[in-house]
Amino acid sequence: MNNAITLSAWELNETDFDAGASPEQQLRFALQYAVLAPSNHNTQPWRFIVDGPTVQVCADRTRALPVVDPFDRELLISCGAALLNLRVALSHFGLSYAITVFPSESDPDIVAQLRVSRDGHLDKALATLFVALTTRVTTRTPFVDEPVAPRLQWDLTAACDAEGAIATCVEAETARHAIAQLIAEADHAQFADARFRRELASWIHSRRRDDGMPAYGAAVGGLLNIAAPLVTSVVRVFDVGAGAPATHQRLVEGSPLFVGISTERDDPEAWLATGQALERMLLLAASRGLTASYLNQPIEVTTLRETLRSLLNVDATPQLLLRMGRGPQVDHSPRRPLSDVID
Ligand SMILES: Cc1cc2nc3c(=O)[nH]c(=O)nc-3n(C[C@H](O)[C@H](O)[C@H](O)COP(=O)(O)O)c2cc1C
């Protein structure tokens, strides 16, 4: 059996873009960048229907995670991230566009309709993030124990703000300890649920697949076993069996910055906006040498969401919780071929 993971989706050559091609061909080219977006468990829950200069970005609910994400909230966040990538690529190639979100009342799976048009919107700030599309990666290892500069924190917050979401940066050690405590509580609740463990394990693969999370890397390789929750949890935090107190300490020390992303509303539009804010912030972070991973447990365990809100001290609904900092180079995860996701 071939155990190699195919990472060719990441080997794109922007000079292959044909400025004289039809809008449809140009859209298809740009969609190669859209699918590099992050998604929960790397489910890649999106489909694209291309028709001339128009593309419909659709949620693929057959790839839902009913246990961890029963309302498809994170699924729509993932689609938002893909939409942001598409906007970045189009902006880079000088193509302006107009977007309508949730254009169809009868079909809530169409999350956005984007039309390339000369009198559309051209966002120069987005174009500057293009290089980061192929360098951004989720990094689950401990980060260098050094603060993230205040100016950079401000820029990360502004990136979320530009997409209609509120980022809250938490760097004080006591506050990070309190959040780490909440994460541990949520982790415990999730891993006590066999359905959660089964769903997570079903998306971690030790052999070649073009979706899900590859079980490679020092933290995961060879250790995966659904019967051992702490081992599966390396994908969620970075515990390698050191025990809960050690994990808590390492999480705080290895995460110089926690960032919460919240929205005023808590509905599909807000989730789509969250995904665009997330990816705009992650691409900016990557372009400045920062990386991130996710600690969404206290949001997914809904009874803890309010506690997180008060720890973040925000008058809005938390949608995502991340840790950010400087980390080592890690491998990308695979993507499905474009032909599987374009109609
Ligand atoms: C909405 C959302 C939720 C996520 N939740 C988690 C999580 O709880 N734990 C985690 O380790 N990664 C999480 N991820 C990261 C994905 O696992 C990651 O994006 C995916 O495996 C693809 O890898 P890449 O980001 O390196 O391209 C999440 C990503 C998104 C978009």
- Tell me the pLDDT band of 264, cut-offs 50, 70 and 90: very high
Structure tokens given for 41: 């468990």
Q: Is the pLDDT of residue 341 over 50?
A: yes
Supply the pLDDT for residue 5: 62
- Tell me the pLDDT band of 229, cut-offs 50, 70 and 90: very low
Specify the amino acid at residue 109: D
- What is the CA(308)–ligand 1 centre distance, in A? 20
- Mean pLDDT (the chain, rounded): 90
Structure tokens given for 43: 């489910």
What are phi and psi for residue 48, nearest 5 degrees? -130, 130
Pocket test for ligand 1, best of 42, 75, 274, 295 (most atoms within 8 A of CB): 42
- Show the CA angle centred on residue 13, arms to residues 9 and 15, nearest 5°: 150
Q: How far are the Cα atoms of 139, 178, 212 from residue 8, in angstroms, in the given order?
A: 19, 41, 16
Q: Where are the beta strands (DSSP E) in the chain?
A: 46-51, 54-59, 97-101, 110-116, 166-170, 204-205, 213-214, 257-263, 291-294, 317-325
Q: What is the pTM of this model?
A: 0.94
Supply the pLDDT for residue 216: 57
Q: How far apart (Å, rounded) are the C-alpha atoms in residues 244 and 235?
A: 15
Flag the least confident range among 76-85, 224-233, 265-274, 287-296. Answer: 224-233
Supply the pLDDT for residue 191: 87
Q: For residues 56 and 113, is the Cβ–Cβ distance under 8 A?
A: yes
Q: Is the pLDDT of residue 281 over 70?
A: yes
Domains of the chain: 8-137 (3.40.109.10), 150-325 (3.40.109.10)
Most confident of 79-83, 120-124, 184-188: 79-83
* Ligand 1 contact via 81 beta carbon (within 6 Å): yes
Supply the pLDDT for residue 171: 97
Supply the pLDDT for residue 167: 98
Pocket test for ligand 1, best of 36, 83, 296 (most atoms within 8 A of CB): 296
Q: Is the pLDDT of residue 236 over 80?
A: no
Query: Could you identify the atom of ligand 1 that is nearest to the CA of residue 140?
Result: 11
Taking 3-state DSSP, the helix, strand and coil percentages for the chain, each rounded to the nearest 5, stand at: 45, 15, 40
Q: For residues 284 and 131, is the Cβ–Cβ distance under 8 A?
A: no
- Answer with the residue of higher pLDDT: 234 or 142: 142
What are phi and psi for residue 200, nearest 5 degrees? -60, -50
- Tell me the pLDDT band of 208, cut-offs 50, 70 and 90: low
Q: How far apart (Å, rounded) are the C-alpha atoms in residues 302 and 296?
A: 11
Give the DSSP letter of residue 342: B
Give the SS3 label for residue 8: helix
- What is the CA(39)–ligand 1 centre distance, in A? 5
Q: How far apart (Å, rounded) are the C-alpha atoms in residues 177 and 58?
A: 39
The alpha carbon of 46 is separated from its chain's Cα centroid by a whole number of angstroms, namely: 13
Q: Is the pLDDT of residue 66 over 50?
A: yes
Supply the pLDDT for residue 7: 85
* Ligand 1 contact via 78 beta carbon (within 6 Å): yes
Half-sphere exposure of 292 (CA within 13 A, CB side): 28
Supply the pLDDT for residue 245: 66
**How much is the average pLDDT of 335-339?**
95
Q: For residues 18 and 30, is the Cβ–Cβ distance under 8 A?
A: no
What are the tens digits of pLDDT across the range 150-175? 999 999 999 999 999 999 999 999 99
* Ligand 1 contact via 42 beta carbon (within 6 Å): yes
Residues 6+ apart with CB under 8 A from 276: 80, 81, 83, 84, 87, 163
Q: How far is it between the farthest Cα atoms of the chain?
A: 59
Give the DSSP letter of residue 169: E
**How much is the average pLDDT of 51-71?**
98
Structure tokens given for 164: 């209609």
Structure tokens given for 154: 């401000």
Q: Is the pLDDT of residue 4 over 90?
A: no
**How much is the average pLDDT of 276-280?**
99
Q: Is the pLDDT of residue 226 over 50?
A: no
